[in-house]
Structure 1
Amino acid sequence: MEKISSVEAFNQVLQNEKDFFILKHSLTCPISSAAYQACKSFADHSTAKVVYVPIQEARETSTHIAEAFNTRHESPQIFHVKDGEPVWNTSHSRITEKALKEASTK
């Protein structure tokens, strides 16, 4: 999984990748830690591109993503993005490897 910490890095991924997942991840929350592990396992066992934003280190980027995707900020929160648009998202304990696998086929 690739860490992104700036709005510019997010915009680059958005422009260069046709299909990817982006996780907004809290470094201090146990629920976010479990979501991160689910994403890591999913990324390790699939060809899907997965990036994450550590919100404590990149609050501006996290806020920018919520605004760009017209969603309320949550943490942890994951988006499946295709052609620059979110096609699926979920948050908190609903972020599981199984949910990611299902979302990747949509």
Structure 2
Amino acid sequence: MKQRTAKFNIGDVVRHRMFPFRGVIFDVDPEFANTEEWWNSIPLEVRPSKDQPFYHLLAENDETEYVAYVSEQNLISDESGVPLRNPQIAQIFDKGPTGEFKPKMSFAH
């Protein structure tokens, strides 16, 4: 599989192209790195290719906050400026002077 350069960075706020959720990126895999069970649970007609970056998001929708794993092709930048409410954000990020998310120095995986 040919790897591509990631379009988004850790700390970027993004939203899903098709589903109503958004979040902040806290990790990036250069290509698919989840389980085959997870992969096979995606309907074939919407299953993305594995040879693209996949992003770990502190995500949220209208009902809840959670962690999501999303292919690059399904993400777009979120320019809404609406604050995120996921409580885990404060554990991983500090807010920069212009509102950007900067990883805390103590955070490592």
Q: TM-score, normalised by structure 1?
A: 0.30
Larger Rg: 2
Larger RCO, structure (CA 8 Å, separation 6 or more): 1
Structure 1 or 2: more helix by fraction: 1
Q: TM-score, normalised by structure 2?
A: 0.30
